[in-house]
Amino acid sequence: MSAEPKYQISRKGLSVWRVYGSIQTLIILLVAIGAGVLTWLFEWYWWIYIVCAVVPIVFGFLFIYLFPKIRWDHWRYEVREQEIEVQYGLFIVVRTLVPMVRVQHVDTAQGPILKRYGLAEITISTAATTHTIPALIMAEADDLRARISELARVAEDDV
C-alpha cells in the first residue's frame, strides 16, 4: 500500500463547511434563546440559563472551528488510471479504494452554497456503493468527472 492519496480538496471547502457549521449553530442558538425565554417566563431552574449559554458556544466552537479543520486536514483523494482512492474522516480515518472497472457513473452536483464559492461535489457510483468528493473547484470537478468516465470506460477487468 503506497503513501496516502496526493490531492487535497479546495481550501474554499473549509469555508463552505464553516458556513454549514454557522447555520447549524444559528439553529441551536435560536433553540437556546427560546428555552431561555421560556425559563424566564415560567421561572424554571436557574441552571437552564447556563446550559443555554454554554451549549451554543461549545457547539459553535466544534462545528465552526474544530471539526471542519480536522476534516479538511484529513481529506485526500487521487484518481489514478486503474483506481480511485479517497481518504477522510473526523475521528475515524477512512481510506477507500474503488477500482475503475467498478465505476458505473459519475455525477457532479452543486448546491446554492457551493455555487457561491464556485465549487462542486463529485459523486462516484458503483453497483453497490456511492462515494463523494465534497468540494472541488468547478472546472476541476468537471475535468475529473470527464476523466473518470473516460477511464472507467477503458478500464479492463484483471480477474
Partner 1 sequence: MSDEKFRLHPISAIINCVKGLKDLLIPFFIIFVGKGFKFNFDPHDEGFFWDSLPILIAGVLLVLNFVSGVVKWRRFVYWFEDDELRIEYGLFVKKKRYIPFERIQSLNYQEGILHRPLQLVKVSVETAASKDKKAEAELTAITRTAADMIELEMKRAKRGKQQVKQGLAQNELLHEIDHDNKSEIDGDSASVSSQQEFRIQEDEIVQREVIHRMSVKDLLILATTSGGVGVVFSGLVAIASQFGDIIPYDYLYDEIRVFVKVGVLLVMLAVFLVLFVAWGVSFVLTLFNYYSFIVERENDKLIITRGLLEKRRVTIPLNRIQGIKIVENPLRQMFGYATVTVESAGGSMQNGEKKIILMPLVKKRDAIAALQRLFPEINWLPTLTRSPKRARPSYYKIGLLWILPVTAVVSYLFFPYGLLSLLIIPLLILLGVWQHKTAGYALDGYQLTVVYRTISRTSFFMEKKRLQQMTMRQTYFKKRIGIASLRTTIMSGSMGASATIAHFEKTDIEKLMAWYEPNAKSAYDVEKSISEP
Binding stretches for partner 1 (CB under 8 A): 1, 82-83, 89, 91-102, 126-129, 131, 155, 157-159
Q: Which is nearer to partner 1, 8 or 82 (CB)?
A: 82
Residues pairing with 108 in the sheet: 122
> In whole angstroms, how close is the CB of 151 to partner 1 at the nearest point?
11
Nearest to 92, CA basis, from 120, 71, 108, 77: 71
> In whole angstroms, how close is the CB of 159 to partner 1 at the nearest point?
4
Q: Which is nearer to partner 1, 114 or 151 (CB)?
A: 151
CA distance 33 to 26: 10
C-alpha grid cell for residue 52? Answer: 443555554
Q: Which is nearer to partner 1, 18 or 131 (CB)?
A: 131
Q: Which is nearer to partner 1, 1 or 41 (CB)?
A: 1
Going by their DSSP bridges, the two strands 130-137 and 83-88 should be labelled as unpaired
C-alpha grid cell for residue 81? Answer: 488510471
> In whole angstroms, how close is the CB of 131 to partner 1 at the nearest point?
7
> In whole angstroms, how close is the CB of 91 to partner 1 at the nearest point?
6
Residues pairing with 86 in the sheet: 77, 96
